[in-house]
């Protein structure tokens, strides 16, 4: 299960409305890399495959590759305003180590003992 806050869902709907390609949806995933082992992937897409799982979250179509679900189950996405800027924040209960910037993570299952060293 993936959770998207009301604020994040509203911002995502605004961003989707600005897209010129019909039938766009939110794609979430992970990629190897980042200083902690995995980095998050979040963007808009209009192409689903047999390797994808579809879910409806806050009236948004969200698609995740089946292989990435083990890393993203329980994920919470929020949007925070900070002065003149703002951005999406991610809380991942599967992460045992996260990068100081919050954009990469590691799980105990895939990395053994977590490395407590900063990025």
- pLDDT tens digits in sequence order for the chain, 119 residues long: 899 999 999 999 999 999 999 899 999 998 876 666 778 889 999 999 999 999 999 999 999 999 999 889 999 999 998 777 778 988 888 777 666 555 556 666 665 433 444 44
| CA distances for 11 relative to 4, 19, 42, 58, 81, angstroms | 11, 13, 14, 12, 11
Report CA 104 to chain centroid distance, whole Å.
Answer: 11
Question: What count of residues does the chain have?
Answer: 119
User: Number of C-alpha atoms within 13 angstroms, CB side, residue 17?
Assistant: 6
Q: What is the pTM of this model?
A: 0.78
Q: Which regions of the chain does DSSP assign to beta strands (E)? A: 3-4, 25-32, 38-45, 52-57, 60-65, 76-82, 85-91, 97-98, 104-106
């Amino acid at each position: 299960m993936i959770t998207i806050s009301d604020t994040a869902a509203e911002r995502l709907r605004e961003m989707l409305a600005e897209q010129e390609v019909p039938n766009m949806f939110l794609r979430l995933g992970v990629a190897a890399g980042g200083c902690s082992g995995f980095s998050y992937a979040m963007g808009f897409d209009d192409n689903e495959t047999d390797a994808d799982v579809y879910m409806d979250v806050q009236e948004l179509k969200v698609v995740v590759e089946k292989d990435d679900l083990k890393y993203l189950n329980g994920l919470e996405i929020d949007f925070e305003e900070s002065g003149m800027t703002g951005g999406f924040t991610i809380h991942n209960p599967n992460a045992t180590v996260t990068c100081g910037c919050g954009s990469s993570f590691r799980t105990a299952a895939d990395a053994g003992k977590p490395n407590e060293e900063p990025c």
